[in-house]
Amino acid sequence: MIDEEREKLRTVAWSELLPWLSLFRTFRLAWHPRALLFATVALVLTIHGWALFGWMFSGSDDKMVQQQIDQIAPRGDYPCAPLAALVPDRPTWPSQELFTNPTEWLQSISVVWQTLSQPFVGLFHSETSLTGLAYLLLCGLWAVLVWAFFGGAITRSAALQLAADEQIGTRELVGFVWSRWRSYAAAALFPFLGVLVANLGILFVSWLLCWSVSAWVVAILWPLLLLGGLMMTVLLLGAWFGWPLMWATISSEGTDSFDALNRMYAYVREKPLQYLFYIVVAGLFGTLGWLLVVNFAAAILAFTDWAASWGCGQESYNDLLACKTTAGYLIQFWRDCVKLLAVGFLFSYFWTAATAIYFLLRRDVDATEMDEVFTDDEQSNEVYGLPNIGTDEQDAPTITEPETPTPPEETDQPE
């Protein structure tokens, strides 16, 4: 007997078999000019704000404060000079750097995490004084406020493109983020609010240690202090590893900061190995992307210098860049703009990859499809009425369409 026709396998849905392949789409999204511009503007605002706070606290005699200022906002020709130095003036080929010293490239990828988390890490240093605490709090709050807008814009645009392959206009994008700007900022600050509450409880009880008479009371209550330490550890560990997911949650679900906080802790707690795997894949792919971007930017600078040196001579051109003249400063300014745009790719890629990782974790934990994303159409104010319920000839209930009222016909009125 002839077998039934069998359907031939023509295509393989790799996105269903290996959903983490969606991480490879992030480079194209992070390389978008609007994402690069948002990331670069936010980076410049963050660094200059930190430099302003550093100038405000530069008169402090506390050596720890000065050390923190040098670490967060190191002094240079201008505040963004250390980040612009990540991009060389000449292309650096993989045979010379990537394989001989791969750790340098990996450190470049992690510069986003290190840069944005520096103020918050310094808060928990045992030698931080009240002055240093005020400086770090200002830096951390400023970073949250800046990236609550620009990070939200990048993740919102990435969420729509990853899920629905839909481009969003800049005006619509700004309106979405601005309406939820407080939720983005509050989501990042809630874990530290919980840490503050636990810390105040421990501080109040430990205050009794100042007197030997009440020290034994504190010793008896010490398990309660340990519970407070457990609370702070859980809050900080979850926030340390999962804080980028909160931005992606609000951008993808259109929800508030409480839901973003709950999802972040749930996803990190329930799927830690998958989360680590996604981070490793995104980091390796981001390293290759950074290699391409940094050499592309360096090639622009190198070819421009090469062409300009033919016009005025190599020595004259080098002297112009080395001399502290208005023309030299202006040329160096435009060169550094190219470098900062390249560094902006790191931040743009960071938020885009965080959005893709959020979709993957949401699929693993909540079994939500990768193409589901919140749209403004879901906020329609249209109200639907219930259908009319009637009976047929046998008195069985039936559903009938609601009658649509029609305007009365105009009739001639008697004079």
Give the pLDDT score at 378. Answer: 53
* Angle at which helices 130-164 and 326-366 cross, to 10°: 70
Give the pLDDT score at 160. Answer: 92
Beta-carbon contacts of 218 under 8 Å, excluding residues fewer than 6 positions away, are: 205, 206, 208, 209, 225
**pTM of whole model > 0.75?**
yes
Say yes or no to pLDDT of 323 above 60: yes
Q: How many CA atoms lie within 13 A of 2 on its CB side?
A: 3
Neighbours of 123 (CB within 10 A): 15
Say yes or no to pLDDT of 46 above 90: yes
More confident site: 53 or 3: 53
Neighbours of 152 (CB within 10 A): 26
Give the model confidence (pLDDT) of 371-391 as tens digits. Answer: 888 887 655 444 444 455 666
Neighbours of 369 (CB within 10 A): 11
Q: Mean per-residue pLDDT for 109-126?
A: 81
